[in-house]
Structure 1
């Protein structure tokens, strides 16, 4: 259980309503602690989730802090999406000594708009919504609304990481791919051209037969296949091939820094930890080789003409 807005709340982990009494909360914890204990047939991961949930709301004091949104994140590694950092961040001052990458499009923009629409509907028309990013309010919202916010933050975080790499990089965000779902990002780097989707399901992910499995996937969701279809559609329309396809997830969601989604030398889709993305774009997949066979400036011009935004 992470501090992502998409993560299951302690109440959801313990299977109780947020309005439950402290006694009912304690009973639910004791029952689940027995059921999930590894010595009694449970799994270490599930048992740990129950313990973390209890740590957060097990006492009236901790519960009050969690409900009010004043509880501190468990770790700095997962604090990117905690508290008021879920709100849009203002543009950072540009350091003249370090030119940033060229950036086009609005990462997370569609998701932000949809999140605000759904929050207003959920709170109720005519009701005040002074701060839609208030941690207590967000955590009490339905999981499908929290997932949209997590997606927005994930896209924004990826874009920021690429922009900080410098002038040799270019990123386009929310790129249309014909009838297929849009690509969150296309990144042109000295080491190649990358199709990237940024995800945060608020839970750990793993690959099973080339597709992602995680607790919070909606029915029919196939992230690897979706990315592949969108990348191929863009390649067909632009006539520019991708070097690789990347699905970027929070660090705590993935066991290994980089995991291939397929086998063999022709595999080009990878799951990547968020903190490792700059390393990948600098050449972790290509041995550090640059695209010296292609004029990067000419390719950037071609892409600029081909890209259409959603």
Structure 2
């Protein structure tokens, strides 16, 4: 008996776009998840098939992994309309071109941030807030840093990750990632593995309802008018599986503006950030002024 191919497992053609693969994965995950009457073995096959097909998007098809033709990114496009077109040539993707610094590293008149820190990809570390440390939060932040450093910063050379920021207007952000003129604000939470539906306000798991913490980014957008800011809630599973929990958006719940937050698992976060950050204008640029201001807001 022949082993089905990844395309056959997800039910897509060999010419399917990344967006079609992602939709098919969500459908197959819903059909095979043990919480919904499926089997653990079938669910793992779906996960593995999705991983294989996603990995094939990079590096040769890196651009094609960003979006389907004529389709805008899922989040963050209200502040700066997305009007770029999918490139079909074989040139190196803009996001993977040599990193450019604005102002240049040899600009002696710019003293807000030195060259060494400008070239550093990760800044900050998990640490307590106030008198008491929340161990679970510190653990989540450490997991997120490891996830992003291994799966995003290695793909987007100009991406910069800052951990531990004061939010404009009060509160904190776990992480902020920039590349070019796009910025992703990320907070984390942890839930048991399983299948969840999200209606834009609460996550539903059977009869249990969980409300993700609201991420306010309007102040961040006003503070960085040149940037396109999007919010993400990273939902981690205690078992460490990047594909868990499975989160299905209900109809009309997909984020459609920069003020809407994305609620995603680890695997989806990596792919969404590649899409959002990597397909923006000048994704190979490090804006040193923006980075300096972010580092000034660290606690």
Larger RCO, structure (CA 8 Å, separation 6 or more): 2
Larger Rg: 1
Q: Which has the higher helix share?
A: 1
TM-score, normalised to structure 1, is 0.45
TM-score, normalised to structure 2, is 0.46
